[in-house]
Structure 1
């Protein structure tokens, strides 16, 4: 009986000792800096390279041409001759104003002109006759009187001609035509509405959408910094500005713009300079008033690219990364001058040939022992082992850069 109790106690003690040993081993493995050995990290060597230098600016689309349609004669709307939203050409009829009154005025003006022409002919005949009889039976005074009558008749004819032209213009203006190619809005009037000449309210608006302008604003301070970089040689200016657009959906617009109007003044309220670019817009993807972002390539700069996933934004706003140095992780602070797709354009804090740690960053500390494994990163920021041949897009080249 006593031997059995002793055996039971020994078995319990053995189980407790085994449990403590397992727990102790697990705890030792879970503690940072334990005996698990160097942390395995993925690294990529960085090199100085030529990078397109771009700025991304907010902008608004502005119609290439836009005009309000107003009547130039009074009357009632007889017909609306267009469909809202359908393209019209220059000279196409938009509205008809009832023209009965203007037709009558034209007829009266034609009659006045005919009468005036007849008076001119009669006066001219009298002058011709008096001229022949001047030395026989017609006095100089009579001849001069006839000539005055002729001059008055000609003046009356000119006045009648002007009245006729005015009547014809008024009649023509009863047909209101589009002065530009474009797309008319919904009519603000209906058939039977009374309108007046040169009224303040527009009947409709016609907007030309192809091409289209995009107005952007840039900080005067950043313009000065860019000029300083060009003067210092750290930024090589391109032969011409390359401008592309990002739509509100984030998609890049298929087409490049040309500079129309460079900014010449700085806004006293915003401190910005306005620029205007022109884009083809055959598919009407861009509409006036639309918010856009313009990516403007200013030139190229020599820089080191550090993938954004390798960096951390510290509490003080600085940007840091880890590099592999002599088997340890070294934390460095980076100075940047913008982005290049999925990478920062780094101007200080790292040197060409350094190995940047891209993977295994979780719980990594400055000075920690590491074991490096070469990796690659593609344009989408996905890291893969450098020996993985399935990643055909690794280290995909980028074609745009964004300046801060």
Structure 2
């Protein structure tokens, strides 16, 4: 019996198998398009910022020093409490200075009596000129009066100094701020010439922060401000991130630029002042500062939607003609957890922000509009407000 294959005719079953094998692969097991969350890109004005390290310093800090010698008899303040300028803090034994005031007062009274006596003698000499009193007598009386007036002035200045020293036996706070623990105890001998202080008073509200940036960046900043005419250095503001990662709520105001560059780090400091009512910032604390100086145009891309390739280029996924396409983009820094993209995206592009983990170039996708809240959570744009 002759085989049907030898006659050149395919069996019916063989023809069906051949036709099936001839179909394109995607027609056999083509997966459905994957839904992906997308956000439509729109260019917008974004603050121009630089992020630099910084360190908090006290706006004012001073040592409380004695101005007279003596024994500490009382400590009049509580450490760790706010204190205002002029508040008594220490008392130095005043007895010696009280005695000096009394003696100075008696010297003033004696000098005053001498002035009155000399004045009377001078007046009498003037009246009796030509009646047994010569001009030389008048001049002698005048000299005696002048000496008496000079002695009175010396006695009065000595009294003023004695009264000042008596007042200095009460040591007061020189500035407003927080008072430290006392460095002395009752019974300790202190002197006006000592190098160490009795305590420290530190102003914590407001507090100042020195931000350290490369000198070349400050020069670029100044050039950009001068060329754009959008502002001047004194209009700069800064925000802070604390050591534990929290954002400091209050923005700081520019105080002064630095006028020298560090020879070891090449940085220059710029000082800002921050309100600090809760004392969250303390002198010596390290922070990260973000300085805002003008605006730039760019696309804001949430950081979770962008990755870096092996060459370190920043890439994102966008939807083109129903397929996923990966693009390299150029960033100009970060603003509030978003990349600022200046090149690689166009107005109206559909940026894929959800469902990127399993994407491959050319994969069929179904774009689903979504929104991203301030916490970085993604929500279906069609869902009612407050819905899950």
Q: Which residue of 2 aligns with 1:370?
A: 364
Structure 2, unmatched stretches of 5+, are 1-25
Please report how far the alpha carbon of residue 36 of structure 1 lies from its aligned counterpart in structure 2 after TM superposition: 4.7
Please report how far the alpha carbon of residue 385 of structure 1 lies from its aligned counterpart in structure 2 after TM superposition: 4.0
CA pair 220-136 structure 1, distance change in 2 beyond 3 A: same
- Measure the CA separation in 2 of the matches of 1:347 and 1:276: 30
Residue 249 (str. 1) matches residue 277 (str. 2):
no
CA pair 325-151 structure 1, distance change in 2 beyond 3 A: same
Q: Which residue of 1 aligns with 2:71?
A: 76
How big is each residue's C-alpha offset from its partner over 1:72-110, in whole Å with a ceiling of 9 and x where there is no partner?
A: 110100111111112222211111111111111111111
Q: Which residue of 2 aligns with 1:292?
A: 287
- Residue 82 of structure 2 aligns to a residue whose secondary structure is coil
Residue 258 (str. 1) matches residue 253 (str. 2):
yes
Question: Is the 1:236–1:301 contact (alpha carbons within 8 Å) kept by the matching residues of 2?
Answer: no
1:123 to 107, 118, 132: 118
RMSD, aligned CA = 2.9
How big is each residue's C-alpha offset from its partner over 1:176-234, in whole Å with a ceiling of 9 and x where there is no partner?
A: 1112222211110001000011310100011222222222122233334445666787x
Alignment of 1:136-215 (within 5 A): 136-215=131-210
Alignment of 1:1-400 (within 5 A): 35-37=29-31, 40-42=34-36, 43-226=38-221, 240-366=235-361, 368-378=362-372, 379-389=374-384
- Residue 55 of structure 2 aligns to a residue whose secondary structure is strand
- Measure the CA separation in 1 of the matches of 2:27 and 2:81: 73
- Measure the CA separation in 2 of the matches of 1:33 and 1:225: 58
- Measure the CA separation in 2 of the matches of 1:83 and 1:391: 51
Q: Which residue of 1 aligns with 2:17?
A: none
CA pair 164-224 structure 1, distance change in 2 beyond 3 A: closer
- Measure the CA separation in 2 of the matches of 1:267 and 1:33: 68
Structure 1, unmatched stretches of 5+, are 1-31, 394-404
Please report how far the alpha carbon of residue 147 of structure 1 lies from its aligned counterpart in structure 2 after TM superposition: 2.1
CA pair 93-386 structure 1, distance change in 2 beyond 3 A: closer
Range that drifts further, 151-160 or 327-336? 327-336
CA pair 342-195 structure 1, distance change in 2 beyond 3 A: closer
